[in-house]
Amino acid sequence: MARTLGATVVRADGTRMPLADLFDRPLEVVAGVANPEAFFGMLREAGLLLARTRPLPDHHAFDEAAEFADRSLTLVCTEKDAVKLWRLRPDAWAVPLELRIDEAFWRSFDRLLDAKLSSAHGPRAH
């Protein structure tokens, strides 16, 4: 399994642009996910300038407008966080995370599932 950054970022109004367009901007990156440092690291490895990082608790509520009032930096977050953050900062750019799962995983998963279904409900017709 591999997690990568999406090639485009999106704002609340649906505006999209290439992730690369953020390279020349100082960024404030917020992440209310289980492992925010992993997200920050992926952005750094991609060449983005993280001027400020703000790790937040997983499932952060984003209900304090004042905590996101500073507009001197371009605000970036995960897609998961954007759902709540966009109410306060629709200008924030959400960076999608893409998950790639090896085809071998799905073959193994299907075999295990078929075995479970066969034992629970009798043989399946193919």
Q: Is the pTM of this model over 0.85?
A: no
pLDDT of residue 81: 94
Residue-wise pLDDT tens digits, 11-35: 999 999 999 999 999 999 999 988 9
Query: Which residues have C-beta within 8 Å of that of residue 28, sequence separation ≥ 6?
Result: 51, 52, 53, 54, 70, 73, 74, 75, 76
User: Is pLDDT of 6 > 90?
Assistant: yes
Q: Are 81 and 96 in contact (CB under 8 A)?
A: no
User: Is pLDDT of 121 > 90?
Assistant: no
Residue-wise pLDDT tens digits, 46-104: 999 999 999 999 888 888 877 888 899 999 999 999 999 999 999 999 999 987 878 87
